Structure 1
Amino acid sequence: MSVNGIEKVLITGANGQLGSELQSIIASGTSPIGAIDPGWADVEVVASDVAGDGLVPLDITDAEAVAQFVADGDFDAIINCAAATNVDGCEANPEFAQKLNADAAANLAKAAADSGAVLVHVSTDYVLAGTDPMPQPEDAPANPNTVYGSTKLDGEKAVQELAPRSFILRTAWLYGTRGNNFVRTMVKLGRSHDQITVVDDQHGSPTFAGDLAHEILALLGTENYGLYHATNNGATTWADFARRIMANAGLACEVKGCTTEEWGAPAPRPAWSILDNKHLRDTIGDDMRSWDVALDQFMEDVEL
């Protein structure tokens, strides 16, 4: 049994939050949202990352290496979870951001098209300007104002141009069971501080990587290729997100709000990062949970 003809899948950036969730969900047959297609139990998963770390080593910024690896692997699908996501780090090192966020996406797109594989590429709300308080659908004008956003948009364009059989999923404020993220950071700070300060004029949708992984696997069961927004539903601010984390963890740490200007990050941040999952609703349906429900369940299930 397979899933829409998929018998072998390559996950790049498999050591990260999303790549880890994908592996776990495929192995267990279920996600926090619910059961996945039982055909995934028979799909061979090749998990790769640049350093190996127990996974198959692959440098996706090396075009020749990617072309050879994909050609030899005979993959039916590729899920690219790798990216340079440190917004300030991208601003400081634009060449690295371009290589990983744009050039590597082009390498994978070309290799996928040449081999006949379907490609899933994960992108970001930062490709939008972040100035409109209304939830943004997929056809909202892209107008990034950071190196991170610009290089991710270049990656989207490369995938659209080179790999017609592809899914691009923009997400935002991602956290997961593995690695460092905002939830873990807040819990750690809450255990060691009576009071912390968190930005309260940026609005977005905290998104659990397990929910995003569920939708990726569901889309791969279709041929509804194209651009998707995929975040947990509803919106909050970073400060209110932090307050809910503290409450769930039973921590008495007070969260004080501040402005983005007062925080003083090197790279600009979008004031409004609320995405509208319109294409999901119009195709397979939007199963992404509300951000607070997903967070509450995550914190109940995961030891932090």
Structure 2
Amino acid sequence: MRVLVIGRTGQIATELLPRLAAAGHEAVALEPPEFDLTDAGQVAAAFARHRPEAVVNCAAYTAVDRAEEERDLAFAVNATGPRLLGEAAAEAGVPVVHYSTDYVFDGSKAAPYTEADPPNPVGVYGASKLAGEQALHAAQPRSVTLRTAWVCSPHGNNFVKTMLRFGRERPEMRVVADQHGAPTFAADLAAAAVALLPRLAAASAGDPVFGVTHLTGMPYTTWHGFAEAIFAGAARRGQTAPQLTAITTAEYPTKARRPANSRLDCTRAARVLGLPPQDWRAGLERCLDALMKGSAA
């Protein structure tokens, strides 16, 4: 299958491309500066040139705090881009896999969010991602949006790499303990897209595989709990762990509000898509192995 991947160097795309090749797919990955997702002409030209049989959109504006000041850019990448992809994919008759975020919710629910819960983003980033979901599915109903959270990998910027760096520099660290969610490793999100592609290619509009589905790691934890697991793993690999102190969100103010509850119910992913949530602790071990090779020596 010819697969057009939007994004090449981000966390998910970096994990996705070798998996597509291993599965026998022919993948073309596009990203700036040679490709502008927000330019209708460039999107149309990419479809005409590469004639994809499926599209996986890994591109996103993810600077949560900066989005509060760069609203137009965030909406261009996160909303206009998916709409243009959906329109081109619908014209070409090909399905789309798209990634979204827990930030479409305000975090006030006491239980994990299901796909039936009404979104209510409280910041520009979440609002732009929600607009992208809606625009994509309106343009191309044969699309799957995988809402996820707390994405990590050995690549790019993420919580695991930040913790390891700070842990080497600081004897003590303060980490928020009242935000709840589930770490999700990019490798698992990439594997999910690869597993979905054959089914999407064969499915008609209206098939339950299409639509919005929650997919994160399991079990649920907090940022503080995740940090504890990171440093425990780092200690097993020879890095001295800092002393961790649990703090509240109020003690760590940010420009954009974070959801206190980022827990997503992933029942639908397992039941309808055949994608059970993966244990993030296993993903963390693989990530630490990749990041800390030779550190114990």
| Paired position in structure 2 for 1:33 | none
Secondary structure of the residue that 1:234 maps to in structure 2? coil
| Paired position in structure 1 for 2:114 | 137
Q: Does 1:233 align with 2:194?
A: no
Q: Does 1:260 align with 2:257?
A: no
- Alpha carbons 1:21, 1:177 under 8 Å: kept: no
Q: Distance in 1 between matches of 2:289 and 2:150?
A: 19
Secondary structure of the residue that 1:101 maps to in structure 2? helix
- In structure 2, relative to structure 1, the CA distance for the partners of 1:161 and 1:71 (3 Å cut) is same
Mapping for residues 202-281 of structure 1, pairs under 5 Å = 202-222=179-199, 223=203, 224-250=209-235, 251-281=240-270
Among 54, 65, 68, the alignment partner of 1:91 is 68
Q: Distance in 1 between matches of 2:267 and 2:276?
A: 12
Point out the more displaced range, 138-147 or 292-301. Answer: 292-301
Q: Distance in 1 between matches of 2:283 and 2:5?
A: 24
Q: Does 1:13 align with 2:7?
A: yes
Secondary structure of the residue that 1:275 maps to in structure 2? coil
Q: Distance in 2 between matches of 1:145 and 1:136?
A: 16
Give the unaligned 5+ runs of structure 2.
204-208
- In structure 2, relative to structure 1, the CA distance for the partners of 1:69 and 1:286 (3 Å cut) is closer
Residue 114 of structure 1 deviates from its aligned partner by 1.0
Secondary structure of the residue that 1:68 maps to in structure 2? helix
Count of aligned positions: 281
Q: Does 1:283 align with 2:272?
A: yes
Deviations 1:184-207 (A, max 9, x none): 110011111100111111011000
Residue 88 of structure 1 deviates from its aligned partner by 0.3
Percent identical pairs in the alignment equals 41
Mapping for residues 57-96 of structure 1, pairs under 5 Å = 57-96=34-73
Give the unaligned 5+ runs of structure 1.
1-6, 30-39, 52-56
Q: Distance in 1 between matches of 2:53 and 2:291?
A: 32
| Paired position in structure 2 for 1:112 | 89
Q: Distance in 2 between matches of 1:303 and 1:11?
A: 29
Q: Distance in 2 between matches of 1:252 and 1:163?
A: 48
- Root-mean-square deviation (CA, aligned residues, Å) is 1.3
Residue 49 of structure 1 deviates from its aligned partner by 1.0
- Alpha carbons 1:133, 1:274 under 8 Å: kept: no
Mapping for residues 130-209 of structure 1, pairs under 5 Å = 130-209=107-186
Deviations 1:28-87 (A, max 9, x none): x3xxxxxxxxxx31x211011113xxxxx2110111111121122110011001111111
**Residue type matched to 1:50 in 2?**
P
Tell me the TM-score normalised to structure 2 length. 0.91
Residue 92 of structure 1 deviates from its aligned partner by 1.4
Q: Distance in 2 between matches of 1:114 and 1:171?
A: 28
| Paired position in structure 2 for 1:3 | none
- Alpha carbons 2:270, 2:277 under 8 Å: kept: no
Secondary structure of the residue that 2:144 maps to in structure 1? strand
Residue 132 of structure 1 deviates from its aligned partner by 1.3
Q: Distance in 1 between matches of 2:255 and 2:95?
A: 37
Residue 301 of structure 1 deviates from its aligned partner by 4.0
